[in-house]
Amino acid sequence: GENVEQHPSTLSVQEGDSAVIKCTYSDSASNYFPWYKQELGKRPQLIIDIRSNVGEKKDQRIAVTLNKTAKHFSLHITETQPEDSAVYFCAAKVRGSQGNLIFGKGTKLSVKP
Amino acid sequence: GAVVSQHPSRVICKSGTSVKIECRSLDFQATTMFWYRQFPKQSLMLMATSNEGSKATYEQGVEKDKFLINHASLTLSTLTVTSAHPEDSSFYICSAEQGNTYEQYFGPGTRLTVT
């Protein structure tokens, strides 16, 4: 089955700097890769996603890149702000009969003012 | 759009009792709903996949007789934790998939504490 590895587990940056979180996946059939932001005690919120037919997607300060050959994808946050502090989860999904999301273990991002 | 509600948000129960958690998609029909469990500072672990009108598919290691899932309509799935024990204390989150969009939207979660 699919296995998703996420690094780093914790990341601390200064306000205004960029943050990069990387994930690798094992199942080459995976074709959907969302990123979720989860604040303490709250639900995961979908912040951006990418499908396997594109290599990059951007939404304001957030971008995701996908390298299908290497089976890795990354989240890039530019001009970080304190409110970006949260736990970020990557996930991979094989679009099929079940379509389960397999999550990485999460990255705790701290943005220091 | 794509709002998922979950009820209750918090529940405290005594060991041996059963607890029912409801997950509703408020503004869309969800053919498939998912139930996750999350321990503190850990990732989301999929417990089961619930398809409307059919039996749930449970992940390995999840007891189907302990965690009863019912998906009676396209907007409602329920998880019942039967004969709860302290080790069942956790954050339970559901999600719903919006049609064929790939995207999953999460409920706010239910904090279960078994005393």
Our CA-based measurement puts residue A100 at a distance from the nearest CA of chain B, in whole angstroms, of 8
Q: pLDDT band for B100, please (50, 70, 90 cuts).
A: low
> What pLDDT, on the 0 to 100 scale, is given for residue A97?
44
Burial zone of B105 (CB within 10 Å; 0-12 exposed, 13-18 middle, 19+ buried): buried
CB count within 10 Å of CB B86 equals 9
Contact B103 A49 (CB under 8 A): yes
Mean pLDDT of B75-93: 96
Q: What is the mean pLDDT of residues B41-54?
A: 88
pLDDT digits (tens, 9 = 90+) for B20-35: 999 999 988 888 899 9
Instruction: Return the DSSP state at B59.
Output: P
Q: Lowest-pLDDT range, A17-21, A77-81, B19-23, B51-55?
A: B51-55
Closest to B106 (Cα-Cα) out of B10, B35, B50: B35
Residues of A in Cβ contact (< 8 Å) with B107: 43
B46 CB neighbours in chain A (<8 A) are 100-102
First vs last Cα of chain B: how many Å apart?
37
Average pLDDT (B82-87) is 96
Identify the bridge partners of residue B58 per DSSP, sorted by sequence position: B48
Which amino acid type is present at position B81?
Answer: V
How many Cα atoms sit within 13 Å of B13 on the Cβ side?
A: 23
Question: For the segment A16-47, what is each residue's pLDDT rounded down to a tens digit?
Answer: 999 999 999 999 989 999 999 999 889 999 99
